[in-house]
Amino acid sequence: MSELLKRVLFAVPAGILFIFAMWYSSLVFSLMIVFIGVLTQFEVIKLLNKAGTPVDKVFPFTIGLWLMLFPYLPFAFEIGLGIFLFFISIQTFNTKLENFNHLTATLFAGVYAPLGYLCLMMIRALGTNEQGFALALTLVLMIWGGDVFAYFGGKTFGKRPLAITISPKKTIEGFLFGFIGCTVGLALSIYALPFESPLSMGTGLPLILLIGVFGPIGDLLESKIKRKAGEKDSSNILPGHGGFFDRFDALILGAAAMYIYLNVMVELGYVAL
C-alpha cells in the first residue's frame, strides 16, 4: 500500500469524525481538542528532549491544561498566577547545568500548542452553535486546503526552496499554491453549508493571507524542531500521518491568527455574531 493511499484511507474517516464532533456541540469538540492537545504535548516534549533541550515532566501539562480549560475554570487567572509562581520558584533553585534551557523549553512545551488549541475552541464557541461551527470549519478547511494544494503544487511545479535549511522539500511554488487551497477552503465553508456563514468572501479574504502565511510558519517551526531532534515524524500514532503535532502544526498558529482577526472584525462591526 502506497504512503499516499494510507494517508487518504485514514484521513477521510478521521476528518469526518473530527467535523462531526465540531458540529455536535462546542463542549464535545472542546473535550476532543483538550485530549488532542495533551497528546500533542507528549510529542513536543519527546522532540525537545531529543533535541537536547530537556523539559520538566509535570509543568508542561499543568500549564497546558490550564490554558485549554481557561474558559471553563473558576478563578482561572488566579490559578494561572499560582502555577506561574510555583514554577518560577522551583526553577530558580534548579542548579543543573541546563537549567535555563529547562525553563524555556518547559514554557514552550506548556504554552505553544495549547494556546493554539485554545484559540480553536474559542472560535468554535463564538456566536450561535451554527455560527461557531461555520467559523471553526472555515479554519479547518482552509488549513486542509492549503496543505493539499501546497503538497501537490510543490510536487508538480516546485523548483525554488522555501526554507532549505529547515525543510528542503518545501518550495516557494508550493507555498504560493497554498493560498489557492486556502481560497478553496474558504469558498467551501461559505457556499457549501445549508445555513449562512458569519463570513462572506469579502470579509474572509484577509484570512487567506493570514492562514496562508501563519499555517506554513507553524509547519516550518515543527520541521525545525524535528530536524534538531533528528526525527522524521513527531510520533507514529496516526497511520500515514505521523503524530498529532504533524497533523495540527499549521492549525496552531492559524487558529491564533484567525481568532485575533475575528475579534477585530466583530469589534469594528464587519462581522455580526
Question: How many residues in total does the chain contain?
Answer: 273
pTM (2 d.p.): 0.93
pLDDT tens for residues 116-131? 999 999 999 999 999 9
pLDDT at 97: 64
Backbone angles phi, psi at 143, to 5 degrees: -65, -50
d(CA 160, CA 5): 27
pLDDT tens for residues 70-90? 999 999 999 999 999 999 888
Backbone angles phi, psi at 168, to 5 degrees: -60, -25
Domain-located, residue 220 = yes
pLDDT tens for residues 172-193? 999 999 999 999 999 999 999 8
pLDDT tens for residues 215-268? 999 999 999 999 998 888 888 877 766 889 989 999 999 999 999 999 999 999
Q: Which residue has the higher pLDDT, 143 or 103?
A: 143
Question: Shortest CA distance to 113 belongs to which of 171, 163, 48?
Answer: 48
Helix (H, G, I), strand (E, B) or coil at 171: strand
Domain-located, residue 67 = yes
Q: Is the pLDDT of residue 3 over 70?
A: no
pLDDT tens for residues 49-62? 998 888 988 899 99
Q: What is the count of structural domains for the chain? A: 1
Provide the domain limits for residue 173.
Answer: 3-268
* Cell numbers standing for residue 99: 537549567
Q: Which residue has the higher pLDDT, 76 or 92?
A: 76
pLDDT at 251: 96
- Vertex 264: Cα angle to 144 and 68 (nearest 5): 60
Percent of residues, the chain, with pLDDT higher than 90: 66
pLDDT tens for residues 239-248? 766 889 989 9
Domain-located, residue 273 = no
Domain-located, residue 10 = yes
